[in-house]
Amino acid sequence: MGTDGDPVAGALEQAYRDEWSAVVATLARRLGDLQAAEDAAAEAFTAAARVWARDGTPPNPGGWLMTTAWRKAVDQLRRNRAVAVDPQQVPEGGAEPVDEVTSVGGDDQLGLVFACCHPALALEVRVALTLRFVAGLTTRQIAAAFVLPEATLAQRLVRAKRKISESGIRFEVPGADRWTARLDDVRAVIYLVFNEGYAASSGEKLIEEDLCEEAIWLGRLLHRLLPGDTETAGLLALMLLHHSRAAGRQDPGGGAVLLVDQDRTRWDRALIAEGTAILDAAVAQRGPGPYQIEAAITALHAAADSFEATDWPQIAALYGTLARLSPSPVVEVNRAVAVGMADGPHAGLAILEPVLASGALTGYGPLHAAHADLLERAGLAAEASAAWARAERAMGNAALQRELRRRRAAAAGSE
Amino acid sequence: MKYALLIYGADLVPETSDAEAREGWIEYARAAKEAGILLGAEQLTGTDTATSVRVRGGQRLLTDGPFLETKEHLGGFFLIDVPDLDTALDWAARMPHTTSGTAEVRAVRTGMAWQAALG
């Protein structure tokens, strides 16, 4: 192949990024079987490497791959039919002329997303399936991101694919009666991927940027497929705005930098502008929800020139709304921080008091960090130092632990 | 697709006790029948009446009791025919015992060689 090899390799790589998931989605829907879809797609890409090198890249690589994959799938079905007890088991599409196979694009991909995020699958399985089949990551990449042996993850995927096909999970967009709950589940999976990347709670590295970017990619896809859904827009805006701070959250040594100490010139202005625009457009449609509120809070942080100049009263009010809409102890911790900035440390401590007393978040580092900071500002140095110690113990992330140790030492020094 | 909805619970509706539970099951069975999805349903006698059978080395071994001693045991099942898992899960969630016990949803295999023997 020599010099001809490179453009074909480039076209293949491009086609993989652009078309692989769409091919799998269309085949999965027609076959009702993710494993068969994956196998046929793999065969089509193998064939492409051979045929494109010989004949050149086709004018419509996606259509070529789709048609070829479908033909491979039909061949496989014919081979299986020889051993099947019931020949009618071959899906209805089997009799169609292969040249007419085209993706209905969005609907197929959306159907795949809903299948991968089905609530009958364990949460970590939904995450793995979505990253593998919607985002197109390899098993190895996903295993690395979650610090799992590749074989373990591969096994999990095999079992999941079998459960989907044998238990009757459909590659379809759910009906109106299930729509809200199922879409909530999809957004939750995407946000989980993002948070896994954002917090990287068990790893040495603070930001697993790849996972954040995959989650944003998934968020963009869902937003493109469901442009009128305000909470999907809210989720995308939230992730973009959070991600805009990625460069500011880490010092050159890999240490964590808390929001108060971040160099705001390192925040990504393009991401902030994009996230804010998406949020504004969503809010204008008046379909409020938790993701939009969180995005609005993040947007206020992004718009502020400094920690002190932040619109804390507005953020405190938004956390109040969020606490009513989807109450949780974690929201209360964040609200305490905002109220502590808006109305003084004692007001913040008053909100934190019931959370601390409930014991619900004893192992949650940010609770103790917020507590420590409020105590420090209230002039209670000894209590603050003890709270810093609790925060440090609760944090799994090494970079954050180092930062907290530094804060603790600083607090102890000012005693 | 056919699904078995397996009814697990600690204390499963003896016909004579709890009137509310009894009414709940009557209503459920009627709804399933009227929806045209019902293939069959049975309630089992208690595990204290169970006999477990094993054959080892040609010897028949009987145990007085259930295969598994668990808190929640299989009390019965509904066999239904619905389009997909989502619908099966909806029917499972409507079972009166699910507020305290568990419904296990299992799709039924079709096209197996032994099933051809049934004609």
Domain residues of chain A, as ranges?
2-79, 321-415
B2-111: CATH number: 3.30.70.1060
Inter-chain CB proximity B111 and A85 less than 8 Å: yes
User: What SS3 state is found at B8?
Assistant: strand
pLDDT in tens, chain A (415 residues): 444 457 888 889 989 888 999 999 999 999 989 999 999 999 999 999 999 999 999 999 999 999 999 999 999 988 887 765 444 444 444 434 444 455 555 789 999 999 999 999 999 999 999 999 999 999 998 998 888 899 999 999 999 999 999 999 999 999 888 999 999 999 999 999 998 887 654 455 555 668 899 999 999 999 999 999 999 999 999 999 999 998 888 777 767 787 888 999 999 999 999 999 999 999 999 999 999 999 999 999 999 999 989 999 999 999 999 999 999 999 999 999 999 999 999 999 999 999 999 988 988 888 999 999 999 999 999 999 899 889 888 876 676 777 777 777 776 665 4
Best residue of A86, A89, A118, A167 to probe chain B, by most B CBs closer than 10 Å: A167
Torsion of CA A184, A189, A192, A193, to 10 degrees: -140
CA-based nearest distance B81→chain A, Å = 12
Q: How far apart are CA A396 and CA A414, in angstroms?
A: 27
pTM value is 0.85
Residues 6+ apart with CB under 8 A from A16: A45, A136
Helix (H) or strand (E) holding A101: none
- DSSP letters spanning A112-168: HHHHHT-TTS-HHHHHHHIIIIIS---HHHHHHHTT--HHHHHHHHHHHHHHHHHHT
Burial class (CB in 10 A: 0-12, 13-18, 19+), A78: exposed
Give this complex's ipTM. Answer: 0.88
For residue A168, the chain B residues in CB contact (below 8 A) are 1, 3, 83-85, 88, 107
Neighbours of A285 (CB within 10 A): 12
Q: What number of other Cβ atoms are within 10 A of residue A46's Cβ?
A: 12
Q: What's the CA dihedral at A141, A143, A149, A153 to 10 degrees?
A: -120
What CATH superfamily classification does A321-415 receive?
A: Tetratricopeptide repeat domain (1.25.40.10)
Domains of chain B by residue range: 2-111
- How far is A335 from A328, CA to CA, in rounded Å? 11
Residue at token pair 């086709």 = A58
Q: Which of A84, A118, A120 sits opposite B111 (nearest CB)?
A: A84
DSSP A304-324: -SSSTTS-HHHHHHHHHHHHH
> Phi and psi (nearest 5°) for B53?
-120, 130
Task: Copy the structure tokens of residue A257.
Answer: 């930098």
